[in-house]
Amino acid sequence: MNVVVRRLVAFIAALVLAVEAVGIVIINVVMGTVVKNQDMSLAGTDPAVMSKGTWALGGVSGVFLLLCAVLLVLAGVRDRAPGRVARIVLICCAVVHGVLGALTVGLVGWTAFAWMMVVLGLIVLALVAYGPQPEPKAEPEQSAAPAPA
């Protein structure tokens, strides 16, 4: 794959993950605030605990997505494959997007599913683009004189 395409895919995937991180944090803050303000309880669960848990989940999810974005930016800037740990983190991010994409079809709709699959595709393409490159074929050495029979 061309160097320009690899870098472009890595940067676009990083940008999309950063935007998604901000969106996830905002959604979780709003949901946590709604639970706190309405004083809702689910089977006797303390609303303050549910609110703080939602905020914590939003923060952790946002940090994870930003970490993935930073790893993709580093891969794009260096034009090198991510290291072993970075590759594992990006694979985990891709798996999470696949599972959440499957869940969003029924819960949210096809538009959210399409978004999750686009992000999944960008992450996988960035991982595959920096995969092992085929080695160039070595030309056979030619001797100066023919070998004796």
**Each residue's pLDDT expressed in tens, for the chain with a length of 149 residues:** 688 889 999 999 999 999 999 999 999 999 999 988 887 677 888 888 889 999 999 999 999 999 999 999 999 999 898 999 999 999 999 999 999 999 999 999 999 999 999 999 999 999 999 876 666 676 666 666 666 66
Nearest C-alpha neighbor of 97 from the set 114, 128, 120: 120
What is the C-alpha to C-alpha distance for residues 95 and 42, in angstroms, rounded to an integer?
Answer: 30
The label of the residue with tokens 């689910």 reads 42
Based on the structure, what is the number of domains in the chain? 1
pLDDT at position 131: 74
Q: Would residue 124 count as lying in a domain?
A: yes
Q: Would residue 108 count as lying in a domain?
A: yes
Q: How many CB atoms lie within 10 A of CB 148?
A: 4
pLDDT at position 4: 87
Q: Would residue 141 count as lying in a domain?
A: no
pLDDT at position 25: 96
pLDDT at position 1: 64
CB 129 within 8 A of CB 8: no
Q: Would residue 31 count as lying in a domain?
A: yes
Q: Would residue 135 count as lying in a domain?
A: no
pLDDT at position 146: 65
Q: CA dihedral in degrees (85, 16, 109, 62; nearest 10)?
A: 60
Q: Would residue 87 count as lying in a domain?
A: yes
Give the structural domain span for 90. Answer: 3-130
Q: Would residue 146 count as lying in a domain?
A: no
